[in-house]
Amino acid sequence: MSRFAIAVHGGAGTILKSSMTSVLESQYLKGLEDALKSGYEILKKGGSSIDAVEAATISLENFPMFNSGKGSVFNHEGKHEMDASIMEGQFLDAGAISGVSGIKNPIALARLVMEKTEHVYLSGEGAINFAKKIGVKIEEEDYFFNEFRYQQWLDIKDSGAVKLDHSDKKFGTVGAVALDINGNLAAATSTGGMTNKQFGRVGDSSIIGAGTYANNKTCAISCTGHGELFIRSVVAYDISCLMEYKGLSLKEACDIVVHDKLVKIGGEGGLIAIDALGKIELPFNSEGMYRGFIDTQGILKCEIYK
Amino acid sequence: MSRFAIAVHGGAGTILKSSMTSVLESQYLKGLEDALKSGYEILKKGGSSIDAVEAATISLENFPMFNSGKGSVFNHEGKHEMDASIMEGQFLDAGAISGVSGIKNPIALARLVMEKTEHVYLSGEGAINFAKKIGVKIEEEDYFFNEFRYQQWLDIKDSGAVKLDHSDKKFGTVGAVALDINGNLAAATSTGGMTNKQFGRVGDSSIIGAGTYANNKTCAISCTGHGELFIRSVVAYDISCLMEYKGLSLKEACDIVVHDKLVKIGGEGGLIAIDALGKIELPFNSEGMYRGFIDTQGILKCEIYK
């Protein structure tokens, strides 16, 4: 029997139906759906989960309403600094980048780090130099310009405040997890960070074990939430360990980590998860999470609120 | 009953007795011993484990023969780029920095990130700007100059090769773990990276969960080894999970991770570990590891080889 499935997210946080229009809502859902389909097409043809999560994440990065790639928020210097990571569950190979500017698809660069270098994690100017060296096209700043994001930044740039995303508590991250017909799991996460962020702050999105993890024995995970708390809780790997060492199901492990451990430490957010049988969980402890999946039956579902 | 104990390391790798002189050997051992004593003095007076691991790591950073702080190796641009992280086990607070230059004691800056910001992880230029803003003294490049390290770099700088440290397989990192009389665990790790490293490569030393982890429920861990493999294996948190979820002892968990899981994936190196009872383990799968401890009986021991 061959099964395959995919899930994506576009960030978690305070997403209230009362502050959403039906037009906006359908645009967000379309963004999720397009990403799911781009990954699912690959899986359906027998392609790999790593190709599928990369394609889905690229689709989300190119969609201007999620905080990653084209839709990235402005940092304190009025620039875009992006983080991303990717991992595959067969050999535990992984790639990650942080603090890169001018990269259209940070997730593709993370994958190049995984496949074209002996390293896992490249950061800042060095990561950009690596991108240039291997011929990745560097985009001009105006590719990332977005009037809405710019206004968000202008509103707070002199206040010293740091916004997570466009509401006070919206964690702008995208990600994908998938299982392919060969039983291989993969996970990908990408973010534009926090509006007005300073000091080269790095969240969980580029940290293997915290924001991203995949292991064929257990699960593939991509997180979105208050990055600092997710790092301290090593969230993605924690779920894998609860399954591997304690024998919990994916759902039981997700419940403990998202609804108990993270809540106790004040870690707001959520994650998307898939296990080796293609079972999908999309837990979050915030008001909402942009999320969707196509399961092993081929059923597509996208949601925003609780 | 009040117990306290501390362990330190100065890196693992191919450290052969045949290529060591007795003078060099006693210098290395003195470096470890001084670090242990500086941390132990704090613990003996009832001080905290976080103060103890910071003090011990500062002592190692100031010792020019280990690859961290003053003894950091040269990167591809002939500069010093350092990474560090620190974590305490009571509240799971943590701080980390990567890719910083000009910082005398990166571990102290990691602790300032933990205590003076809402963030966990700052990188590169941004982390240096944070250091300047809070008044951390920036050292001139010549503070870090070391003829031996410089020759190592000159030897390979045009080859494109990347050296881990002064032998082909010496992982230059320092670290400390401690238990204080209040039952609090803490861990710290600091490194000068790899000679001739390019592209802003980040290893496990600044990654919470990979190179550093502390949790009063289980253990405190500081790693030294082939950073990429340690990141992919989420080594430090893995030991904690094996104890918490599988009920293993510290020794059993260390054996599985260092002598089985890491070996299978090709991950050479080691780590220092202490549990909530003050039991210490110093496992490594390489030829040697600069290591030492003062245990709950007050017995001091430092070693280099297998």
**Strands of chain A, DSSP E:** 5-13, 82-88, 94-100, 121-123, 170-171, 173-179, 185-191, 201-202, 212-214, 219-225, 269-275, 280-281, 288-294, 300-305
> Which residues, listed in sequence order, are joined to residue B138 by a DSSP beta bridge?
B103
Contact at CB, A119 and B210, closer than 8 angstroms? no
- Average pLDDT score, chain A: 92
Residues of chain B contacting residue A239, judged by C-beta atoms under 8 Å apart: none
Tokens standing for A244?
């591997």
pLDDT of residue B164: 46
Active site residue A173: yes
Average pLDDT over residues B230-251: 98
pLDDT digits (tens, 9 = 90+) for A285-296: 999 999 999 999
Q: d(Cα A75, Cα A67) in Å, to the nearest integer?
A: 12
Average pLDDT over residues A34-62: 98
Say how many CA atoms lie within 13 Å of B211 toward its Cβ.
Answer: 34
Confidence of residue A130 (pLDDT cuts 50, 70, 90): very high
Contact at CB, B209 and A213, closer than 8 angstroms? no
Q: Which of A57, A173, A191, A218 is an active site residue?
A: A173
Confidence of residue B168 (pLDDT cuts 50, 70, 90): very low
pLDDT of residue B281: 98
Residue of B nearest to A127 (CA): B199
- The candidate with the shortest Cα–Cα distance to B221, out of B97, B85, B117, is B85
- The candidate with the shortest Cα–Cα distance to B96, out of A46, A57, A268, A200, is A200
The Cα-based distances of A167 to A15, A144, A164, A173, A292 in angstroms read 8, 20, 7, 13, 21
pLDDT of residue B163: 56
Residue A64 pLDDT greater than 70, yes or no: yes
Q: Which of A32-36, B72-76, B143-147, B166-170 has the highest mean pLDDT?
A: A32-36
Are B273 and B220 a contacting pair, CB within 8 Å?
Answer: yes
Rounded to 5 degrees, φ, ψ at A7 are: -135, 150
Are B123 and A98 a contacting pair, CB within 8 Å?
Answer: yes
Contact at CB, B99 and A228, closer than 8 angstroms? no
pLDDT of residue B166: 40
C-beta atoms surrounding A164 within 10 Å: 26
Average pLDDT over residues B112-118: 95
pLDDT of residue A18: 85
Q: d(Cα B300, Cα B5) in Å, to the nearest integer?
A: 10
- Name, in order, each residue with C-beta under 8 angstroms of B147's C-beta and a sequence gap of 6 or more: none
A152: left (phi over 0), alpha (psi -120 to 50) or beta: alpha
- The candidate with the shortest Cα–Cα distance to A290, out of A55, A60, A1, A44, is A60
Q: d(Cα A166, Cα A171) in Å, to the nearest integer?
A: 9
Fold (CATH) for A5-305:
Glutamine Phosphoribosylpyrophosphate, subunit 1, domain 1 (3.60.20)
Average pLDDT over residues A32-50: 98
Q: d(Cα B283, Cα B41) in Å, to the nearest integer?
A: 25
B298: left (phi over 0), alpha (psi -120 to 50) or beta: left
Q: Give the three-class secondary structure for A224.
A: strand
Q: Check residues B164 and A234 and name the one with the higher pLDDT.
A: A234
- The kind and range of the H/E element at B240 are helix B235-246
Can you give the pTM of this predicted structure? Answer: 0.95
- The candidate with the shortest Cα–Cα distance to B46, out of B10, B3, B96, is B3
pLDDT digits (tens, 9 = 90+) for A12-33: 988 888 888 999 999 999 999 9
Cβ burial of B267 (10 Å; 0-12, 13-18, 19+) is: buried
**Under an 8 Å CB criterion, which residues of B touch A?**
87, 92-94, 98-99, 117-127, 129-130, 162, 198-203, 207-210, 213, 227-228, 231-234, 237-238, 241-242, 245-246, 265
Q: Which of A6-15, A70-79, B161-170 has the highest mean pLDDT?
A: A6-15
The Cα-based distances of B299 to B37, B292, B294 in angstroms read 11, 10, 5
Q: Give the three-class secondary structure for A82.
A: strand
Cα distance from B102 to chain A (closest Cα, Å)? 16
pLDDT of residue A160: 62
* Sign of torsion over alpha carbons A291, A257, A97, A95: negative
Q: d(Cα B47, Cα B42) in Å, to the nearest integer?
A: 5
Residue corresponding to tokens 């995208």:
A174
Domain ranges of chain B: 5-305
Average pLDDT over residues A61-88: 89
pLDDT of residue A194: 78
Q: Which amino acid is at B52?
A: A
pLDDT of residue B167: 45
pLDDT of residue B201: 93
Q: Which of B21, B117, B173, B195 is an active site residue?
A: B173
Q: d(Cα A93, Cα B260) in Å, to the nearest integer?
A: 18
pLDDT digits (tens, 9 = 90+) for B42-89: 999 999 999 999 999 999 999 999 999 998 887 777 788 899 999 999
Confidence of residue B195 (pLDDT cuts 50, 70, 90): confident
Of B93, B126, B237, the CB nearest to A198: B126
- Average pLDDT score, chain B: 92
**Under an 8 Å CB criterion, which residues of A touch B?**
87, 92-94, 98-99, 117-127, 129-130, 162, 198-203, 207-210, 213, 227-228, 231-234, 237-238, 241-242, 245-246, 265
Q: Check residues B229 and B167 and name the one with the higher pLDDT.
A: B229
Are A123 and B99 a contacting pair, CB within 8 Å?
Answer: yes
Are B233 and A152 a contacting pair, CB within 8 Å?
Answer: no
The Cα-based distances of A79 to A99, A144, A146, A150, A157 in angstroms read 11, 9, 12, 10, 12
Residue B291 pLDDT greater than 70, yes or no: yes
pLDDT digits (tens, 9 = 90+) for B246-260: 999 999 999 999 999
Q: d(Cα A240, Cα A219) in Å, to the nearest integer?
A: 6
Residue B31 pLDDT greater than 60, yes or no: yes
pLDDT of residue B68: 92
Rounded to 5 degrees, φ, ψ at A101 are: -115, 150
Of B119, B228, B231, the CB nearest to A201: B119
Q: Which of A187-201, B165-179, B219-233 has the highest mean pLDDT?
A: B219-233
pLDDT of residue B255: 98
Cβ burial of B51 (10 Å; 0-12, 13-18, 19+) is: middle
pLDDT of residue A1: 55
Residue B289 pLDDT greater than 50, yes or no: yes
**Secondary structure percentages of chain A, helix, strand, coil, to 5:** 35, 25, 35
Residue A140 pLDDT greater than 90, yes or no: no
pLDDT of residue B157: 77
Least confident of A134-143, A273-282, B42-51: A134-143
Residue A279 pLDDT greater than 70, yes or no: yes
pLDDT of residue A164: 46
Residue A166 pLDDT greater than 90, yes or no: no
Percent residues over pLDDT 70 in chain A: 95
Q: d(Cα A7, Cα A280) in Å, to the nearest integer?
A: 7
Confidence of residue B148 (pLDDT cuts 50, 70, 90): confident
